[in-house]
Amino acid sequence: MRKDLQIIFDIIQPNSKVLDLGCGDGLLLHELIKKKKVTGLGIEVSIDKIKSCLKYGVSVIQEDLNEGLKEFQDNSFDYVILSQTLEYIANPVYLIKEMRRVGKYCIISFENLANWKNRLTFMFTRTLKRERTHNHNLFYGKKIQILDLNKFLKFCAHYKIKIKNKFYLPMKKYNLTQIFPNLFSKIAIFILKGNN
């Protein structure tokens, strides 16, 4: 399991209701259902990934996240997860508002494109280096949003979204990632409070 998914797994409390947006092959939900007895539902757009979810025994709905979460009632989940998918969403503000409406907590992870390796690569090649941490969003095509930690923190401040916790990867005991996360972290994970 990817490191960010392992951290998300550790965050989720047993017997919770979990909605995983852009759930990919369903591995995270499968592990949560099996080991933490959660009630889980995935949303995925790719037919191939939906087939993988079904092989794992994960309940999944085919839906385009750009359409929002209209079919779900307020506070219907304990956790809503959006793992390395936000950068592919056309209107991330709308989706995050919807996540906060239907979930008590929202867990969002994304690749920090402002880390020093990307800055150097961009300076010399005018392209951004992407981590090869996943491929489940190939259906959506190219990234629409260029995300970095500072941009996301400003977004949360602007919309008065309370951040309960945050994690910056890689997580080592003594490294610069925790001191200068925007420059050294590769992946960021944020736990946001819902609207409740």
DSSP string, 55-118: HHT--EEE--GGG--TTS-TT-EEEEEEES-GGG-S-HHHHHHHHHHHEEEEEEEEE-TTSHHH
- 84 Ramachandran zone, left/alpha/beta (phi>0; psi -120 to 50): left
Task: Return the SS3 of 45.
Answer: coil
Domain map (residue ranges) of the chain = 3-193
Report the pLDDT value the prediction gives residue 180, as an integer from 0 to 100.
79
User: What is the number of other CB atoms lying within 10 angstroms of the CB of residue 196?
Assistant: 10
User: Does residue 136 carry a pLDDT above 60?
Assistant: no
| pTM of the model as a whole | 0.86
**66-93 pLDDT, tens per residue?**
888 999 999 999 999 999 999 889 889 9
Give me the CATH code for the 3-193 domain, please.
3.40.50.150
What is the mean predicted confidence (pLDDT) over 44-52? Answer: 95
